[in-house]
Amino acid sequence: MSDFFQFEMDFASSLRCIPMQVRYKLDRCGIKLKLPQWHQFSTEDRQKLLGLPCQTPDQVQTYRETLQRLVQEATGEIATDLPIETNPDWENAAKIPESVDQKAREMQVSLTVDQWAKLTPIQRFVLIKLSRSNHENRNFIPALEEFQRV
C-alpha cells in the first residue's frame, strides 16, 4: 500500500493534511482525529501513523492505542471515539454508495458497478470520503482519474 495517492502529492512532503491512508486507518480503529490535533503531532509521529499497519484485529488495536496515546501526549485531550462500521460501504464491491453515484453524476462522469468492483477497498473509501457534502470535493475527479475509472 503506497503512503500517498497522486492527488495528495501537493501536501505529501509536509504532511499538513491528514493523508487518506491515515483517514482509512482512523475509520478502521474507530477514532476521530481533528486536523488541529494532527498539527500538534511531530513529523515523526505523523509518519509513524502513516506507516503503522492497521489490517488485522491486533494491528487495529495497536493503532488505536498508539493514536490515543499520541493525542493525549500532544494535546492533553482524550481522542474521540467513532463507531466502527461492521459492513462499511467501501467493502461492498457490488453497490456504489449514493453519495459517490451522485457526485459522479454531478461531475458528469460515469462510474459503473463493474468499475466500482475493480477498485480496491481503500480506493472505494477515498471516493466515498471525497463525495461527501461536508468534504472539500476538488479531489474527486483527480482521484477517479488516478484510479483510471473516468
Inside any domain, residue 21: yes
Inside any domain, residue 77: yes
Instruction: Tell me which residue of 150, 146, 149, 148 sits closest to 8, measured CA to CA.
Output: 146
Instruction: Tell me the C-alpha to C-alpha distance, in Å, between residue 121 and each of 35, 94, 144.
Output: 24, 12, 14
- pLDDT greater than 80 at residue 150: no
8 Å CB contact between 137 and 130 = yes
Last residue of a domain, one of 81, 102, 130: 81
Inside any domain, residue 93: yes
Inside any domain, residue 1: no
- pLDDT greater than 50 at residue 1: no
DSSP code of 4?
Answer: S
Report, as an integer, the average pLDDT of 90-116. 95
Rounded CA separation 71/38 (Å): 8
Q: pTM of the prediction?
A: 0.89
Report, as an integer, the average pLDDT of 101-123. 94
Rounded CA separation 69/14 (Å): 22
Last residue of a domain, one of 81, 101, 132: 81
- How many domains in the chain? 2
- pLDDT greater than 70 at residue 81: yes
Quote the domain boundaries for residue 137: 89-146
Inside any domain, residue 129: yes
Inside any domain, residue 47: yes
Q: Helix 98-106 and helix 121-131: axis angle, to 10°?
A: 70
* Same domain for 61 and 33: yes
* Same domain for 61 and 98: no
Task: Encode pLDDT of 11-51 as tens digits.
Answer: 777 788 899 999 999 999 999 999 999 999 999 999 999 99
pLDDT-derived band at 135 (thresholds 50, 70, 90) equals low
